[in-house]
Amino acid sequence: MSFEKIEQVLKKPGISRAILSFYGRFEEMASKFRQRPLSAGGDSAQISADYLVGIALFLFGVTLAFTYVLNIAAFQESNKNQYIAESISELVLDYLHQKDAYRINAINTTKLHSFLASSHELYSLLNQTQFHVNITVKNLSSQVIGSVGELAEIEDYGYVERIAFNYANSSEIYIIEVRVW
């Protein structure tokens, strides 16, 4: 339908001149678009790259947000004593670790026995006295090798077990139990 035919229809009574004006502008823009030559590559590659960078940044932000939110929620839901027990178990294993060991959690048994003999060594390692701590070392058949610190007087305490290996004899495996209240 040509512009002249549409103009004749729109000139009938009751049809607004605004519609005719709008259609005229639309027809003018469409004809300019048809006459515009298409470039060889255009800007489509740049738009695609910008789009990909934007999506990547968005996903990176979402990943960071979820990571931090999960860590905050896990810390708030966990027992404070449990968190302290895990920290203390890492300190104890680091203290007992044989420096030239090739295995993770390979401990020096001489250090272990001197550590279990004195509670003073335990509290000097921890450098605190606001928590009660008990560390018990067992072998795989659950026989107690030694214990340091007072036993838990309450039922609500943080508890963690760690596996350790004798540096000199790797077939000797220990279970280090840490209780904090």
| Average pLDDT of span 119-134 | 78
CB 141 within 8 A of CB 106: no
| Average pLDDT of span 126-136 | 82
- Regarding whether 71 and 87 lie in a shared domain, the answer is no
Q: Which one is predicted more confidently, 7 or 81?
A: 81
Nearest to 137 by CA among 168, 165, 158: 165
Q: Total structural domains in the chain? A: 3
- Rounded to the nearest 10 degrees, what angle do helices 80-96 and 119-126 cross at? 110
Quick: pLDDT tens for 2-40: 666 666 665 665 555 656 566 666 677 667 666 655 555
- Regarding whether 127 and 85 lie in a shared domain, the answer is yes
- Regarding whether 156 and 107 lie in a shared domain, the answer is yes
The two beta strands, 173-180 and 133-139, are: antiparallel
Asked whether residue 175 carries a pLDDT value surpassing 70, the answer given is yes
Res. 135 pLDDT band, cuts 50 70 90:
very high
CATH number at residue 138: 3.30.1140
Q: Give the torsion sign (CA, 119, 120, 124, 125).
A: negative
Residue ranges making up the domain that contains 18: 3-35
Q: Which one is predicted more confidently, 27 or 160?
A: 160
- Regarding whether 84 and 71 lie in a shared domain, the answer is no
Residue 54 CB burial class (10 angstroms; 0-12, 13-18, ≥19): exposed
